[in-house]
A and B are shown apart, each in its own frame.
Chain A
Amino acid sequence: MSELSVNHLLGIKYLQEKDIQLIFETADHFKEVINRPIKKVPSLRDITIANLFFENSTRTKLSFELAEKRLSADVINFSAGQSSVKKGETLIDTVNNILSMKVDMVVMRHPNPGASVFLSKHVSANIINAGDGAHEHPTQALLDSYSIRERLGDVAGKNVVIVGDILHSRVALSNIYALKLQGANVMVCGPKTLLPKHIDKLGVKVETNLLKALQWCDVANMLRVQNERMEISYFPSTREYTQQFGVNKALLDSLDKEITIMHPGPINRGVEITSDVADSKQAIILDQVQNGVAVRMAVIYLLASKIKQ
Chain B
Amino acid sequence: MSQKVLLNATAINIILHRLACQLIENHKDFSNTVLIGLQPRGKYLANRLAEMLKTEYNIKNLQLGHLDITFYRDDFRRGDKIHEANTTEINFIVEDKKVVFIDDVLYTGRSIRAALTAIQSFGRPNEIELLTLIDRRFSRHLPIQPNYRGRQVDAINEEKVKVNWKENEGEDAVYLINS
What is the interface of chain A, defined by CB distance below 8 A to chain B? 1-3, 25-26, 29, 32-33, 36-44, 46, 71, 301, 304-305, 307-309
User: Is A41 within 8 A of B71, CB to CB?
Assistant: yes
Given contacts A33-B121, A41-B72, 9 further A-B pairs with CB under 8 A are A25-B85, A29-B70, A29-B71, A29-B87, A29-B88, A33-B88, A36-B121, A41-B71, A309-B78
User: Is B88 within 8 A of A43, CB to CB?
Assistant: no
18 A-B contact pairs sorted by A residue (CB < 8 Å):
A3-B82, A29-B71, A29-B85, A29-B86, A29-B88, A32-B88, A33-B121, A37-B121, A37-B123, A38-B120, A40-B121, A41-B71, A41-B121, A42-B117, A43-B76, A46-B77, A305-B76, A308-B77
Residue in B70, B83, B86, B122 whose CB lies within 8 Å of A37 = B122
* Interface core residue of A37, A44, A307 (most chain B CB under 10 Å): A37
Question: Within 8 Å CB of B103, what residues of A?
Answer: none
Question: Within 8 Å CB of A44, what residues of B?
Answer: 76
Cα distance A309–B121 in the bound complex, in angstroms: 27
- Residue on B nearest A3 in the bound complex, by CB: B82
Does B135 reach chain A (CB closer than 8 Å)?
no
Question: Within 8 Å CB of B167, what residues of A?
Answer: none
Question: Within 8 Å CB of B117, what residues of A?
Answer: 42
B2 to chain A, nearest CB (A): 30
What is the interface of chain B, defined by CB distance below 8 A to chain A? 68, 70-73, 76-78, 82-88, 117, 120-123
Cα distance A32–B117 in the bound complex, in angstroms: 16
Residue in A36, A71, A304 whose CB lies within 8 Å of B77 = A304
Main secondary structure of the interface of B (DSSP, over half): loop
Residue in B76, B85, B88 whose CB lies within 8 Å of A26 = B85
* Interface core residue of A3, A42, A307 (most chain B CB under 10 Å): A42
Cα distance A29–B77 in the bound complex, in angstroms: 19
Question: Within 8 Å CB of A40, what residues of B?
Answer: 121
Question: Within 8 Å CB of B120, what residues of A?
Answer: 38
If A37-B122, A37-B123, A40-B121 touch, whether A1 touches B84 (CB-CB below 8 Å) is yes
- Residue on B nearest A297 in the bound complex, by CB: B71
If A1-B82, A1-B83, A42-B117 touch, whether A305 touches B71 (CB-CB below 8 Å) is no
- Residue on B nearest A41 in the bound complex, by CB: B71
Question: Within 8 Å CB of B72, what residues of A?
Answer: 41-43
User: Is B122 within 8 A of A305, CB to CB?
Assistant: no
A295 to chain B, nearest CB (A): 14
Cα distance A309–B80 in the bound complex, in angstroms: 11
B43 to chain A, nearest CB (A): 15
Cα distance A83–B69 in the bound complex, in angstroms: 41
A221 to chain B, nearest CB (A): 29
A273 to chain B, nearest CB (A): 35
If A26-B85, A40-B121, A42-B117 touch, whether A307 touches B77 (CB-CB below 8 Å) is yes
Cα distance A29–B123 in the bound complex, in angstroms: 19
